[in-house]
């Protein structure tokens, strides 16, 4: 099913071209370096604790992808193998997948998170998912704003420690496909 995840190139707000492609087993070392490069804040907002490294079991879980029910997309620049963002979803129940993403601190605020979310939504819709769920820390205003910015219908449930979002995924006719796509 990996072949069904075609790479695309998007343009950031600053004009840089960034490739979005499937995470593969050969990305293990670069993925680990990406996690190590994240600031403590970005790491905590994504993983809910400030991780500096992923242990073997956790790393194995991140690479247990079938490209249907569990899929991850990475952002790369040119031929450099360095990973600059990771977005993933995993099936929770029929039609529902949990989504999570994190963008390299130096590329935040340039539209990469939005493009990554839209790409994941497009891939999820192709695979029969209609809802993304997301668990977000209340102080993660950037992620909350990203979901709000999509304009997609969202149900919000607040708890003491986190905010759970259930986002209705648009079909391609409503959304126009992945944001800022310049190549497929």
Q: What's the pLDDT at 10?
A: 96
pLDDT at position 59 is: 77
**Residue ranges making up the domain that contains 20:** 2-183
Per-residue tens of pLDDT for the chain, all 184 residues: 566 799 999 999 999 999 999 999 999 999 999 999 988 988 888 877 777 777 777 778 889 999 999 999 999 998 999 999 999 999 999 999 999 999 999 999 999 999 999 999 999 999 999 999 999 999 999 999 999 999 999 999 998 899 999 999 998 655 544 443 333 2
| Residue 90: closest CA among 72, 109, 110 | 72
- Domain tally, the chain: 1
Q: What is the CATH number of the domain that holds 141?
A: 3.40.630.30
What angle do helix axes 141-150 and 112-126 make, rounded to 10 degrees? 60
Reported pTM: 0.88
DSSP character string of the chain:
-GGGS--EEEE-TTS-EEEEEE--GGGHHHHHHHHHHS-HHHHHHHHSS--SS--HHHHHHHT---SSSEEEEEEE-TT-----EEEEEEEEETTEEEEEEEE-GGGTTTTHHHHHHHHHHHHHHHTT--EEEEEE-TT-HHHHHHHHHH---EEEEE-SS-EEEEEEPPPHHHH-SSTTEEE-
pLDDT of residue 134: 96
pLDDT at 178: 41
Q: What does the alpha-carbon distance between residue 92 and residue 165 come to, in Å, rounded to a whole number?
A: 13
Q: Supply the pLDDT for residue 184.
A: 29
Q: State residue 2's pLDDT score.
A: 61
pLDDT at 57: 75
């Amino acid at each position: 099913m990996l072949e069904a995840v075609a790479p695309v190139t998007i343009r950031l707000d600053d004009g840089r071209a960034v490739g979005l492609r499937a995470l593969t087993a050969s990305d293990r070392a670069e993925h680990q370096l990406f996690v190590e490069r994240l600031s403590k804040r970005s790491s905590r907002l994504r993983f809910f604790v400030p991780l500096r490294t992923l242990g073997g079991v956790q790393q194995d879980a991140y690479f247990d992808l079938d490209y249907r029910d569990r899929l991850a997309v990475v952002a790369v620049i040119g031929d450099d193998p360095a990973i600059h963002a990771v977005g993933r979803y995993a099936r929770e129940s029929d039609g529902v997948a949990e989504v999570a993403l994190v963008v390299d601190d130096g590329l935040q605020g340039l539209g990469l998170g939005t493009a990554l979310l839209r790409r994941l939504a497009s891939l999820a819709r192709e695979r029969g998912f209609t809802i993304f769920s997301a668990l977000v820390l209340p102080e993660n205003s950037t992620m909350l704003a990203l979901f709000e910015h999509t304009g997609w219908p969202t149900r919000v449930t607040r708890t003491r420690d986190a905010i759970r979002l259930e986002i209705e995924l648009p079909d391609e006719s409503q959304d126009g496909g992945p944001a800022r796509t310049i190549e497929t």
